[in-house]
Amino acid sequence: LDAAGGGDFTTLQQVVDGTVDGDFVLVRPGDYENPTSYPGATFGNKALSIVADGTGPVDFPSVRIVNVPAGKVFVLRGLRFVNDFPLGVDLFRLQVDGSAGLVLIEDCLVEGSSEAFVGLPTVALNVASANVALTSCELVGPPAGDDTLSTLGGPPGNWALRTLAAHVSLTDCSLTGGA
């Protein structure tokens, strides 16, 4: 994957459409913002390894990973999930759900969006009904803007990590939530 055009793919959507189960995608430095859809890309029903080449920052928009099959591993390594979706509906920066297989996230930065949607909190990493292992990652929930949600009976602020019926392990990670 190379945003400058030097690879097999230039966008995350091309990776979604052009890879098969078990592929390894080496990502060159660049900004892979996809301003036309939310989330930026949805990877489903296959295991991939998406790995930065280590020569510079790799910035992704929101990404969703779903239905990684049992016995398979989906790997994200050396990536930054930091781009805000331009319409302010970026509730989850990175979302993993409905996966019996393992999603392995290593050496990544995941920042929750600074843009709230209708007063709802944003989440850097949302994990629901999935198995996720994080190693050497930084998860950042941005500071809260207003207390709209708290007036509706919910908690104020934003979260670095939100889980629901999930198995999540953290090793050498930093989590910071908004307040």
**pLDDT on residue 151:** 41
**pLDDT on residue 149:** 43
Cα→Cα distances 117→92, 135, 145, 157, Å: 11, 30, 11, 13
Q: Which amino acid is at 62?
A: S
Q: For every one of its 179 residues, what pLDDT tens digit does the chain have, with 9 covering 90 and above?
A: 998 888 899 888 889 889 999 999 999 998 887 655 555 688 889 999 999 999 999 988 888 899 999 999 999 999 998 865 554 455 778 899 999 999 999 999 998 876 655 556 678 899 999 999 999 999 988 766 544 444 444 455 578 898 999 999 999 999 987 65
**pLDDT on residue 146:** 47
pTM over 0.85: yes
Q: Residue with structure tokens 């805000």? A: 84
CA-CA distance, 145 to 162, in Å (whole number)?
19
CA-CA distance, 95 to 166, in Å (whole number)?
12
**pLDDT on residue 74:** 96
Q: In terms of Cα–Cα distance, which of 148, 150, 156, 162 is closest to 178?
A: 156
Query: Do the Cβ atoms of 147 and 120 come closer than 8 Å?
Result: no
Structure tokens of 50?
């998406």
